[in-house]
Structure formats: structure tokens, C-alpha cells
Amino acid sequence: MKIFIQDLWSKQLAWDDQLDDIDKQRWLDLVEEIKHALPAIPRLVIPKSSSPATVELCVFGDASKRLYACCAYLLQRLQRLGSSWLNRI
């Protein structure tokens, strides 16, 4: 999405300019991808049977001039020595 918008900005289009056929198709393809980009995946974030000593949210991100990304993990440390759970959110 970001690259598509940057490409439109580089063409110096006004907000009310019509997109050409190629850009219009790119936009429709992006909208369709977004509909399927975030599937609902039920996850057990913290096991019910545990007593967490600590819970930490770990977030990492990186970016370049054209792209960016991030990920987040929930880290649960249990009362028992050396036990932990790691779940992607």
C-alpha cells in the first residue's frame, strides 16, 4: 500500500485526478489483498493452567525508505524455573 501511494505521489497527481487503467487495477488488487491479509486465527495467548510471574510484550520494527514491518510477541515467564511460553500475536 505504501509503495503504491508513493508511486502516485511521484506522479504529482492531484487528489481528484482520475487514475489511469494500470493504477486503477493496482488499487483494486490491493483492496482485494487487504480483505484476505488478516485471517482470524484463534490463539491461546496465556495458558489457563499457569500462574505467570511476568508477562512481557516484545515488539520489533524495521523500516527502509520504501517499506516498513513489525512483529509482536507476548512472552510469559512462569513461576517454575526455566519455563516460558512464546506466542505470536
Beta bridge partners of 69: 62
Q: How many domains does the chain have?
A: 2
Beta bridge partners of 56: 75
Is the domain of 55 the same as that of 88? yes
Q: Identify the residue whose cell numbers are 515488539.
A: 59
Type of residue at 2: K
Q: pLDDT tens for residues 61-75?
A: 999 888 888 888 878
Q: pLDDT tens for residues 9-59?
A: 899 988 899 999 999 999 999 999 888 777 666 666 666 666 667 888 999
Is the domain of 33 the same as that of 64? no
Residue-range definition of the domain harbouring residue 63: 41-89
Is the domain of 64 the same as that of 32? no
Put simply, whether the predicted model's pTM sits higher than 0.75 gets the answer no
**HSE-CB of 37 using CA atoms within 13 angstroms:** 8
